[in-house]
Chains A and B, each alone.
Chain A
Amino acid sequence: MAELAYWEAIRRAHDEELARDPNVIVMGEDVGLIGGTYKATSGLYQKYGEKRVIDTPISENSFTGIGIGASMAGMRPIIEIMSINFALLALDTLINAAAKIRYMSGGRATCPIVMRTPGGTAHQLAAQHSARLARVFMSTSGLRVVTPRGPLDACGMLKSAVRCNDPVIVIEHERMYNLKEEIPDHEYFRPLEGAEIVRRGTDITLIGYNLSLHMCLETAKRLEQDGVSAEVIDLRALKPLDRETIRRSVEKTHRVVIAEEDEAAVGVGAEIMATVIEECFFALDAQPVRIHAADVPVPYAENLEKVAIPNADDVYQAALKVMGRI
């Protein structure tokens, strides 16, 4: 076991897959020579050459489309889009093409691409660099969407994504790249489906993914001191969604708080809330609560940004409320 940072875990997955399969290629802006904005591909250009680790022009829609085309002819491209905000430029090819090619062809054509991108707010990056957008991909049939919570999943899920025959969107987070975790030295895979109970509890279920999962974990620790036993679920995969794990947990705890960093409307939290209501409405002992961002573009000013974006304390306060403690 070695402790790796999130970015190092992603790098390792790339490295192993590039070494194994000559059809694996990496594409994106500045992923090659300078090793990627978050270092997730550092050294790979030097190791595998410019034909395998490709620096692209600033042409998101078309280089993603090129990746999709290559995947239809047997390649396994891993595409990095520097920020999920820029992925909006590639939505045409991702949603109109990648997500539908298998279906439109009656299963005769496939496009096994992986698109990695960080989504989320960082520090005062303002309205055009703070999108979260998981909801956009989550609401598109024909895609798989995963959100690795730490290095273990970041490496293991990326490797599974490269091997899987479907288009996979991997949503990372700018504030998670330096997060550390021990991961096995030997090759391993983590499944692309399934929510995971990362902490067992009996009194309340806290549900998160990506960065909001960490808010839930922090909240669970605080609740323990209050004598409340919180169960924490990491959604891991937003699409397809593991409704079973959510149902079984809520049937046990009867209470639920859902945390996301995005705005509420038509969001991941809304979907989970609907899932809870559809799956186990009569098991609930209290009204479920969603924690989410304010309904505003993300402001630049530090004090405004702080109140616009949810934090662990918001989740904690919501949990107390659902427990009837406040």
Chain B
Amino acid sequence: MKPADQKRLLREMIFYRRFEERCFEAYMEHKIGGFLHLYVGQEAVATGVLEMARVKHDYIITGYRDHIHAIKTGAPAREVMAELYGKETGSSRGRGGSMHIFDPTVNFMGGYALVGQPFPLAAGLALACKHKGTDQIAICFLGEGANNQGTFHETMNMASVWKLPVLFVCENNRYAIGTRVDRSTAVVDQYKRVCGYNIPSSQHDGQDIEVVMESAKKAVDHVRGGKGPYFIEYLTYRYRGHSMSDKTALYRSKDEERQWQERDPIRIYDRKLKQAGVVTDADIKAMEQEIDAMIENDIVKFAEESPAPRVEDLNKYVLDDNPDPRWIGPLQNSY
């Protein structure tokens, strides 16, 4: 990879971290409501996998921890922030909020709150790609907790028999809210769970973006090459609570948290790039300043200044707002 690209990737990850932290602040200021799930600690996974995908071409879908997946796919960050602020300019026009970022213009097909719900949707996107004969693939990002849902097993089976071009990315951050993976799951290594469906799979370090990219490239090539689905598991960690109200002390130790902090994906990558002479501390400092300024002066400002949805538009988007009368009527009666 070219040094310029490496530098860009580092900058992206720093930006994603700062973006999420800024969301946290905005939540504390009551600018953001509802449930807010942050991606802090897991940045290398979405960044690395999507770097290897053909974004805006492939279909991407995920759960409620979705801001960064949307942005890396190409959803404008200011629209994502405006969505969190509940504004008309938001990705989902203020109707969806944090858990439901959508941007079909870049084939980001949404964030979903129901655990396990995206599995079949992803397979459906892949079915459409296969049906149309395009070289697009579908990529589904979900946590390890979702793999205990029935949709996981049912979808893996169908994706496999129908050889659908879908890549399942399992972000194993070890906890589903307060439940550690070994307390809920008989086979803790998630990649082994798809063997029963004859889907090839592998497990990798999710904190080192170079490892992520290398493994993701192989997986993407496999799927795009028409060989059917692939399941890839990344071992990662969320540094914050599950959502804003979650208290991690109830279920995990400070010691464990510290160990994972040492494997911070941004630190791992910036250390590598510094050693390779691609960036200096001064470069990173400058990046951070530029990012913070951009977040404040562009992203947050846009969200703050955007209008809220109009109350008169409450019924908009429930059904097609401009339906073709040939299909829906009205039917003429004589009274």
Contacts and interface: CB of A to CB of B under 8 A. Distances in A.
Interface of A: 29-30, 33-35, 37, 55-62, 85-86, 89, 123-129, 294-297, 299-304, 307-308
Interface string B149-166: 110000000000000000
Contacts of B1: none
A30 B83 CA distance: 29
A173 B34 CA distance: 16
A89 B97 contact: no
A61 B150 contact: yes
A34 B250 contact: yes
**Across chains A and B, which 5 residue pairs bring their CB atoms closest together, nearest first?**
A300-B97, A124-B33, A57-B148, A301-B86, A34-B178
B314 interface: yes
A55 B116 CA distance: 18
A55 B315 contact: no
Nearest to B34: A124
Contact of B150 (A59, A86, A125): A59
B96 A300 contact: yes
B33 A123 contact: yes
B112 interface: yes
Contact of B34 (A30, A59, A62, A300): A300
A30 B177 contact: yes
Given A33-B250, A295-B318, A301-B309, A128 B95 contact: no
B48 interface: no
Contacts of A302: 33, 86, 308
Interface of B: 33-35, 83, 86-87, 92, 94-97, 99-100, 112-116, 145-146, 148-150, 176-179, 183-185, 247, 250-251, 308-309, 311, 313-315, 318
B34 A29 contact: no
29 contacts: A29-B179, A30-B177, A30-B178, A33-B178, A33-B179, A33-B183, A34-B250, A35-B250, A55-B179, A57-B145, A57-B148, A57-B185, A58-B149, A60-B149, A85-B113, A86-B115, A123-B34, A125-B35, A126-B97, A127-B100, A128-B100, A295-B315, A296-B314, A299-B94, A300-B83, A300-B100, A301-B308, A302-B33, A303-B311
Among A29, A35, A37, A56, chain B packs the most CB atoms within 10 A around the CB of A29
B95 A300 contact: yes
A56 B184 contact: yes
B99 A304 contact: no
B182 to A, nearest CB: 11
A128 B113 contact: yes
Given A30-B178, A34-B177, A299-B309, A126 B100 contact: yes
A200 B155 CA distance: 56
Contacts of A304: 86, 94-95, 309, 311, 313-314
Nearest to B177: A30
Given A62-B150, A296-B318, 17 more contacts: A34-B177, A34-B250, A57-B179, A85-B113, A85-B114, A86-B114, A86-B115, A128-B112, A129-B113, A299-B94, A300-B83, A300-B92, A301-B97, A302-B308, A303-B311, A304-B86, A304-B313
B56 to A, nearest CB: 25
Contacts of A62: 150
Nearest to A122: B34
A30 B92 CA distance: 31
Contacts of A127: 95-96, 100
Contact of A297 (B35, B178, B318): B318
A57 B113 CA distance: 16
Contact of B94 (A30, A55, A85, A301): A301
A86 B112 CA distance: 12
Contacts of B150: 59, 61-62, 89
A301 B318 CA distance: 15
A95 to B, nearest CB: 16
B162 to A, nearest CB: 23
B244 to A, nearest CB: 12
A126 B94 CA distance: 10
Contact of A58 (B145, B311, B314): B145
A59 B149 contact: yes
Contacts of B113: 85, 126, 128-129
Among A125, A297, A299, chain B packs the most CB atoms within 10 A around the CB of A299
A295 B177 CA distance: 32
Contacts of B115: 58, 86
B315 A294 contact: yes
Contacts of B114: 85-86, 89, 128
A59 B94 contact: no
Contacts of A307: 311, 314
Nearest to B318: A296
A297 B309 CA distance: 15
Nearest to B248: A34
B95 A299 contact: yes
Nearest to B183: A55
Contacts of A60: 149
Given A33-B179, A58-B116, A124 B148 contact: no
A22 to B, nearest CB: 23
A87 B192 CA distance: 29
A91 to B, nearest CB: 13
B245 to A, nearest CB: 9
Given A29-B179, A34-B178, A307-B311, A124 B184 contact: no
A160 B80 CA distance: 48
